[in-house]
Chains A and B, each alone.
Chain A
Amino acid sequence: MLTKIYENLIVQTVCRIMVPFIQVYALYVIAHGHYSPGGGFQGGVILTASLALLFLAYGQGAVISRMGRRITIVLCGLGVFIYAGIGLLCLLLGGNFLDYAQLAPILGVSIPRARSLGILGVEIGVGLTVMSAMYSIILDIAGSPPAE
Chain B
Amino acid sequence: MLTLGNTNLAANDICAIVLIVGGLFFFFTSTVGLLRFPDLYSRMHATGKGDTLAVLLIISGAIVHHGLNLNSAKLTLIALFVFIANPTATHAIGRAAYRCGIKPWRRKPEPSNSGEPKK
Instruction: Write the nearest CB–CB distance from A3 to chain B, whole angstroms.
Output: 15
Q: B99: which A residues are within 8 A, CB to CB?
A: 6
Instruction: Write the nearest CB–CB distance from B108 to chain A, whole angstroms.
Output: 32
Q: A21: which B residues are within 8 A, CB to CB?
A: 81
State in angstroms the CA–CA spacing of A11 and B88 once bound together.
Answer: 6
State in angstroms the CA–CA spacing of A6 and B91 once bound together.
Answer: 13
Q: A8: which B residues are within 8 A, CB to CB?
A: 92, 95
**A side interface size, CB within 8 A:** 8
Q: A10: which B residues are within 8 A, CB to CB?
A: 88, 91-92
**B side interface size, CB within 8 A:** 8
Instruction: Write the nearest CB–CB distance from A72 to chain B, whole angstroms.
Output: 26
Q: A6: which B residues are within 8 A, CB to CB?
A: 95, 99
For residue A14, CB closer than 8 A to chain B, the reply is: yes
For residue A1, CB closer than 8 A to chain B, the reply is: no
Assess the A11–B85 pair: CB atoms within 8 A: no
**Can you name 15 A-B pairs with beta carbons within 8 Å?**
A6-B95, A6-B99, A8-B92, A10-B88, A10-B91, A11-B88, A11-B91, A11-B92, A14-B84, A14-B88, A17-B84, A18-B81, A18-B84, A18-B85, A21-B81
Apart from A8-B95, A18-B81, 16 more pairs, CB < 8 Å: A6-B95, A6-B99, A8-B92, A10-B88, A10-B91, A10-B92, A11-B88, A11-B91, A11-B92, A14-B84, A14-B85, A14-B88, A17-B84, A18-B84, A18-B85, A21-B81
